[in-house]
């Protein structure tokens, strides 16, 4: 506020503007946190009601099933959130998952003694390659992500099918060490779920505390402004797609470890659940806001609904309809909250001026 | 595009018109190539089946073209088709005559479209997110209505008639109403103020509003029409396969969007023609069915769909970048041309 030459009232107005701006950020932050708290509460409520109906829902095995059921969706949702925050989308994750899962199976068929780390690296590597193809088409050829990843959704799945050629890999073909990864526990938490937690924490820390992580939000808020600001938009978007692909590849390995039985259809259609989880978790579909924690909570909520409905004696056919209604409610709520924030800010500005 | 600026409209044709022509040329090449190489392709029987496969996709692609031109999207069409099919089956089981059930189901489709329209045009929510939501919601409701059962005891008068060919040919009669609808949508898009308004919205919603286009109302009714047409496709689907199931047409929305984009409609809106889209639908389905006839497994055919889709957007973009680069290299080019490239 170095406005010495301006009339006296100007600094006051500027100060008021700055004040209301800071308040806006605080207010926005409060609502943003409230969003995650809201989903968390909904999740707790759901679990509480379901447990009241059937206490076995939260028994040791029940807890394990809930965590295992959410694992794959959480890993995918973290990757998807990173992409959506940059105002892009990755619809190919289900196909990448299928490809990586099948590759894992093939790897163990060819080399039954292969170390598990190698399988994980191969899965992530395949995902990174797929993500790099997506990212290159989006960042270099400047093609909208929706179209590119819709196309590669088909392409990767088709490659998967022609590679598999109708073959199915059975759990019996998998080495015992790898299968035990799908069932092992560490301190009462399934090992697979720990992968998801690790991915979530790393991604959350990166997005919050690293400059390039913050730049992803800037890109999503306004790609043109981000470019003018000197942010390497193409490179960051490319990286986001690579990360999403790599996580989808990791999810494929986790899928193989959990289910053991694999065919080329693994993960078909999961992309919609992933996008749903991210949107329900409060990440704006047009980028620039939200967090991976919200997305992960959204994923846990969706998968818990899937497990809770049969317990609640609700016809399981309702599950998909509930997911749809939840998406509509989530984006409708977002819009209502945004309108309220804007309204309040206008009110403050008017008073401050 | 104003007639007095002939230079500009000629360039408009050369930039965007060429894509339609290209798709049609590729389509012709595919037809000629497949006739020579694939046994059984150049038969009336094959084309009869091909046209039956094309009908539902082409039907939904008509209103989808208009929606994408306004810069929006509707991913819920296949779920609307499935819900319409499930409800039709349930109404028939409940003893309602089909002559009454069919109009009811189309009305239901319009209602489902109106829900989309309300969220998108009324509340101003992003269509991508809304229709991903209703994609799940409508498909879920279809399962709620019919579960995993199938209703298959429709009267043969309806199911048989739906695939009946025009007398003396193998061309299914349903192609006729499809053609009438296509002409109707074509006239609406290319020869009426409403159609011009759709392009204006796709280029810039706000500018269109200031130009007097009723943006929200038009979008709302577009979604209503899309819902009704998708339900109509659901009726045809049910009758053609003589089976009402909740999973009818699952995943069809991706084929429809792929065909529309392949037909040269910009995903950002504001650009595209209905002729191009119909050529895109034909190209996609002809190529797919020809490869299937040549014993390429159906599952791997998705590679073709995906690659075509990517080429269809990368192609024009790459051509545009190349043109811009060539223009930069020749600074002596007339200023109008460089302004056009921006």
Identify the CATH number of the domain in which residue A85 sits: 1.10.3470
- What are B27-82's pLDDT values in tens digits? 999 889 888 888 888 888 888 889 999 999 999 999 999 999 999 999 999 999 99
Chain B residues within an 8 Å CB radius of A282: none
Mean pLDDT lowest for which of B88-92, B170-174, B288-292, B310-314? B310-314
| Structural domain count, chain A | 1
Closest Cβ opposite residue A323 in set B140, B144, B246: B140
Closest Cβ opposite residue B130 in set A272, A319, A328: A328
Closest Cβ opposite residue A322 in set B119, B140, B313: B140
Q: What is the DSSP letter of B173?
A: T
- What are B121-159's pLDDT values in tens digits? 998 898 988 998 999 899 999 999 998 889 988 888 888
Chain A residues within an 8 Å CB radius of B260: none
pTM across the whole model: 0.82
Angle separating helix axes A116-139 and A93-110, nearest 10 degrees: 150
Place of tokens 């909904």: A42
More confident site: B327 or B21: B21
pLDDT at A130: 95
Query: Would you state the structure tokens that stand for residue A199, as one six-digit string?
Result: 């991915």
> CA-nearest residue of chain B to A136?
B314
Question: How close B125 gets to chain A, by Cα (Å)?
Answer: 7
More confident site: B179 or A311: B179
Question: How close A326 gets to chain B, by Cα (Å)?
Answer: 8
Whether residue A6 is predicted with pLDDT greater than 60 in this model: the reply is no
CA angle A173, A177, A181 (to 5 degrees): 105
Closest Cβ opposite residue B299 in set A150, A264, A285: A264
Q: What is the 3-state secondary structure (H, E, C) of chain A?
A: CCCCCCCCHHHHHHHHHHHHHHHHHHHHHHHHHHHHHHHHHHHHHHHHHHHHHCHHHHCHHHHHHHHHHHHHHHHHHHHHHHHHHCCCCCCCHHHHHHHHHHHHHHHHHHCCCCCHHHHHHHHHHHHHHHHHHHHHHHHCCCCCHHHHHHHHHHHHHHHHHHHHCCCCECHHHCCHHHHHHHHCEECCEEHHHHHHHHHHHHHHHHHHHCHHHHHHHHHHHCHHHHHHCCCCHHHHHHHHHHHHHHHHHHHHHHHHHHHCCECCCCCCCHHHHHHHHHHHCCCCCCCCCCCHHHHHHHHHHHHHHHHHHHHCCCCCCHHHHHHHHHHHHHHHHHHHHHHHHHHHHHHHHHHHC
Percent of chain B's residues with pLDDT above 70: 91
**Are A331 and B307 a contacting pair at CB < 8 A?**
no
Chain B residues within an 8 Å CB radius of A141: 314, 317-318
**Are A331 and B321 a contacting pair at CB < 8 A?**
no
pLDDT at A25: 54
With contact defined as beta carbons under 8 Å apart, do B258 and B309 qualify?
Answer: yes
Question: How close B96 gets to chain A, by Cα (Å)?
Answer: 24
- Kindly state whether residue A89 falls inside one of the protein's structural domains: yes
For residues B294-308, average pLDDT: 81
Mean pLDDT lowest for which of A31-35, A117-121, A347-351, B239-243? A31-35
Which of A8-17, B35-44, B62-71, B265-274 has the largest mean confidence? B62-71
Chain B residues within an 8 Å CB radius of A275: 132
More confident site: A32 or B285: B285
| Position A3 confidence tier, pLDDT thresholds 50, 70, 90 | very low
| Position A30 confidence tier, pLDDT thresholds 50, 70, 90 | low
Place of tokens 């809201």: A38
Distance between CA atoms of residues B65 and B269, nearest Å: 10
**Closest to B216 measured CA to CA, from B127, B136, B131:** B127
Query: Would you state the structure tokens that stand for residue A218, as one six-digit string?
Result: 């800037």
With contact defined as beta carbons under 8 Å apart, do A294 and A43 qualify?
Answer: no
**Are B133 and A325 a contacting pair at CB < 8 A?**
yes
**Are A320 and B137 a contacting pair at CB < 8 A?**
yes
pLDDT at A9: 46
Whether residue B323 is predicted with pLDDT greater than 60 in this model: the reply is yes
> How far is CA A176 from each of CA A169, A182, A184, A250, rounded to the nearest angstrom?
14, 10, 12, 19
pLDDT at B340: 39
Closest Cβ opposite residue A141 in set B251, B299, B314: B314
- Kindly state whether residue A284 falls inside one of the protein's structural domains: yes
For residues A178-196, average pLDDT: 81
Whether residue B331 is predicted with pLDDT greater than 80 in this model: the reply is no
For residues A51-55, average pLDDT: 86
- Kindly state whether residue A327 falls inside one of the protein's structural domains: yes
Which of A51-60, A304-313, A339-348, B218-227 has the largest mean confidence? B218-227
Question: How close A5 gets to chain B, by Cα (Å)?
Answer: 38
Question: How close B154 gets to chain A, by Cα (Å)?
Answer: 24
Distance between CA atoms of residues B298 and A335, nearest Å: 42
Distance between CA atoms of residues A93 and B249, nearest Å: 22
Closest Cβ opposite residue B303 in set A137, A154, A317: A154
- Contacts of residue A216, Cβ cutoff 8 Å, sequence gap at least 6: A82, A85, A86, A207, A236, A240
Query: Would you state the structure tokens that stand for residue A239, as one six-digit string?
Result: 């990286």
With contact defined as beta carbons under 8 Å apart, do B307 and A151 qualify?
Answer: yes
Q: What is the DSSP letter of B244?
A: E
For residues A217-232, average pLDDT: 90
Q: Which of B73, B136, B270 to mutate to test the interface with A (most CBs of A within 10 A)?
A: B136
Closest Cβ opposite residue A137 in set B137, B258, B310: B310
Whether residue A4 is predicted with pLDDT greater than 50 in this model: the reply is no
Question: How close A178 gets to chain B, by Cα (Å)?
Answer: 29
Mean pLDDT lowest for which of A229-238, B80-89, B177-186, B315-324? B315-324
For residues B192-219, average pLDDT: 91
**Are B303 and A325 a contacting pair at CB < 8 A?**
no
Is residue B94 classed as helix, strand or coil in its secondary structure?
coil
- For A66, phi then psi, to 5°, come to -60, -45
> CA-nearest residue of chain A to B308?
A151
With contact defined as beta carbons under 8 Å apart, do A29 and A22 qualify?
Answer: no
> CA-nearest residue of chain A to B116?
A328
Which of A48-62, A110-124, B86-100, B144-158 has the largest mean confidence? B86-100
Question: How close B321 gets to chain A, by Cα (Å)?
Answer: 9
- Contacts of residue B285, Cβ cutoff 8 Å, sequence gap at least 6: B50, B53, B54, B57, B259
- Contacts of residue B168, Cβ cutoff 8 Å, sequence gap at least 6: none
Question: How close A146 gets to chain B, by Cα (Å)?
Answer: 9
Is ipTM beyond 0.90? no
More confident site: A219 or A185: A219
pLDDT at B235: 94
How many cross-chain Cβ pairs, A to B, lie less than 8 Å apart? 151
Whether residue B330 is predicted with pLDDT greater than 70 in this model: the reply is no
**Are B313 and A155 a contacting pair at CB < 8 A?**
no
Find the domain containing A167 and state its range: 31-345
**Are B132 and A327 a contacting pair at CB < 8 A?**
yes
- For B155, phi then psi, to 5°, come to -65, 140
**Are A155 and B303 a contacting pair at CB < 8 A?**
yes
More confident site: A19 or B168: B168
For residues A11-37, average pLDDT: 55
Q: What is the DSSP letter of B121?
A: I
**Are B137 and A158 a contacting pair at CB < 8 A?**
no
pLDDT at B335: 47
| Position A100 confidence tier, pLDDT thresholds 50, 70, 90 | very high
Mean pLDDT lowest for which of A130-139, A294-303, A322-331? A322-331
Is residue B165 classed as helix, strand or coil in its secondary structure?
strand
| Position A42 confidence tier, pLDDT thresholds 50, 70, 90 | confident
Q: What is the DSSP letter of B298?
A: G
- Kindly state whether residue A40 falls inside one of the protein's structural domains: yes
Q: Which of B71, B269, B299 to mutate to test the interface with A (most CBs of A within 10 A)?
A: B299
Distance between CA atoms of residues B23 and B281, nearest Å: 10
**Are A328 and B123 a contacting pair at CB < 8 A?**
no
Q: Which of A102, A147, A289, A309 to mutate to test the interface with B (most CBs of B within 10 A)?
A: A147
Q: Which of B144, B313, B324 to mutate to test the interface with A (most CBs of A within 10 A)?
A: B313
Distance between CA atoms of residues A36 and A291, nearest Å: 9
Distance between CA atoms of residues B294 and A180, nearest Å: 44
Whether residue A307 is predicted with pLDDT greater than 90 in this model: the reply is no
Question: How close A160 gets to chain B, by Cα (Å)?
Answer: 8
Question: How close A110 gets to chain B, by Cα (Å)?
Answer: 23
Q: Sign of dihedral through CA atoms A100, A101, A107, A110?
A: negative
- Kindly state whether residue A238 falls inside one of the protein's structural domains: yes
More confident site: A35 or B66: B66
- Kindly state whether residue A10 falls inside one of the protein's structural domains: no
**Are A285 and B128 a contacting pair at CB < 8 A?**
yes
> CA-nearest residue of chain B to A146?
B267
Question: How close B38 gets to chain A, by Cα (Å)?
Answer: 21
Q: Which of B260, B263, B302 to mutate to test the interface with A (most CBs of A within 10 A)?
A: B302
pLDDT at A31: 53
With contact defined as beta carbons under 8 Å apart, do A42 and A53 qualify?
Answer: no
Closest Cβ opposite residue B303 in set A158, A165, A269: A158
Q: What is the DSSP letter of B300?
A: G
**For chain B, what is the mean pLDDT?**
86
- For B296, phi then psi, to 5°, come to -80, 130
Q: Count other C-beta atoms under 10 Å from residue B175's C-beta.
A: 19
């Amino acid at each position: 506020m170095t406005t010495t030459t301006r009339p006296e009232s100007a600094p006051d107005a500027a100060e008021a503007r700055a004040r209301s701006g800071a308040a806006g950020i605080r207010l926005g932050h409060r609502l943003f946190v409230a969003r995650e708290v809201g989903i968390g509460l909904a999740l707790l409520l759901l679990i509480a009601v379901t447990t009241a109906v059937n206490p076995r829902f939260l028994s040791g095995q029940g807890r394990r099933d809930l965590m295992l059921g959410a694992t794959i969706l959480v890993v995918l949702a973290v990757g998807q959130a990173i992409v959506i925050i940059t105002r892009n989308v990755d619809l190919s994750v289900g196909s990448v998952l299928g490809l990586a899962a099948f590759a894992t199976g093939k790897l163990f068929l060819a080399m039954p003694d292969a170390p598990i780390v190698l399988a994980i690296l191969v899965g992530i590597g395949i995902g990174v390659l797929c993500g790099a193809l997506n990212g290159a088409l989006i960042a270099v050829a400047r093609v909208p992500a929706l179209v590119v990843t819709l196309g590669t959704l088909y392409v990767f799945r088709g490659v998967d099918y022609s590679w598999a050629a109708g073959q199915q890999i059975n759990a019996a073909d998998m080495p015992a060490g790898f299968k035990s990864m799908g069932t092992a526990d560490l301190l009462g938490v399934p090992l697979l779920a720990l992968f998801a937690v690790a991915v979530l924490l790393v991604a959350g820390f990166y997005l919050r505390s690293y400059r390039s992580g913050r730049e992803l939000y800037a890109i999503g808020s306004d790609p043109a402004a981000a470019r003018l600001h000197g942010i390497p938009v193409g490179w960051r978007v490319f990286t986001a797609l690579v990360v999403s692909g790599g996580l989808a590849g990791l999810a494929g390995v986790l899928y193989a470890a959990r289910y053991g039985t694999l065919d080329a259809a693994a993960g078909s259609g999961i992309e919609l659940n992933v996008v749903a989880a991210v949107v329900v978790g409060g990440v704006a579909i047009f980028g620039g806001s939200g967090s991976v924690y919200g997305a992960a909570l959204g994923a846990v909520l969706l998968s818990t609904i899937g497990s809770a409905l049969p317990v609640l004696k609700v016809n399981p056919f309702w599950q998909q309809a509930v997911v749809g209604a939840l998406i509509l409610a989530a984006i409708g709520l977002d819009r209502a909250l945004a309108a309220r924030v804007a309204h309040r800010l206008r009110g403050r500005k008017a008073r401050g001026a | 595009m104003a007639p007095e600026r002939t230079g500009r409209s000629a360039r408009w044709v050369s930039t965007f018109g060429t894509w339609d022509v290209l798709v049609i040329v590729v389509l012709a090449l595919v037809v000629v190539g497949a006739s020579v190489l694939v046994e059984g392709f150049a038969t009336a029987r094959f084309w009869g089946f091909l046209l039956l496969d094309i009908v539902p996709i082409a039907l939904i692609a008509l209103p989808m073209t208009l929606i994408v031109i306004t810069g929006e999207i509707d991913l819920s069409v296949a779920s609307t088709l499935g819900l319409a099919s499930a409800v039709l089956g349930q109404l028939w089981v409940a003893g309602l005559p089909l002559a009454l059930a069919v109009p009811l189901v189309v009305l239901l489709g319009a209602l489902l479209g109106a829900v989309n329209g309300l969220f998108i045009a009324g509340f101003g929510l992003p269509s991508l997110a809304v229709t991903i939501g209703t994609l799940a919601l409508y498909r879920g409701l279809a399962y709620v209505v019919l579960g995993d059962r199938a209703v298959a005891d429709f009267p043969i008068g309806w199911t048989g008639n739906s695939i009946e060919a025009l007398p003396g040919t193998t061309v299914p009669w349903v192609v006729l109403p499809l053609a009438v609808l296509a002409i109707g949508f074509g006239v609406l898009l290319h020869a009426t103020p409403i159609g011009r308004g759709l392009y204006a919205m796709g280029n810039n919603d706000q500018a269109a509003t200031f130009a007097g286009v009723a943006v929200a109302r038009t979008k709302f009714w577009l979604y209503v029409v899309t819902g009704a047409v998708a339900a109509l496709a659901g009726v045809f689907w049910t009758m053609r396969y003589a089976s009402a199931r909740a999973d009818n047409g699952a995943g069809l929305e991706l084929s429809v969007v792929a065909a529309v984009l392949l037909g040269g409609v910009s995903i950002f809106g504001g650009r595209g023609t209905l002729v191009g889209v119909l050529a895109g639908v034909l190209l996609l389905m002809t190529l797919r069915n020809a490869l299937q006839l040549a014993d390429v497994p159906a599952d791997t055919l998705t590679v073709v769909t995906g690659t075509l889709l990517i080429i269809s957007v990368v192609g024009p973009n790459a051509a545009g970048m190349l043109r811009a680069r060539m223009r930069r290299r020749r600074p002596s080019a007339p200023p109008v041309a460089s302004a056009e490239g921006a």
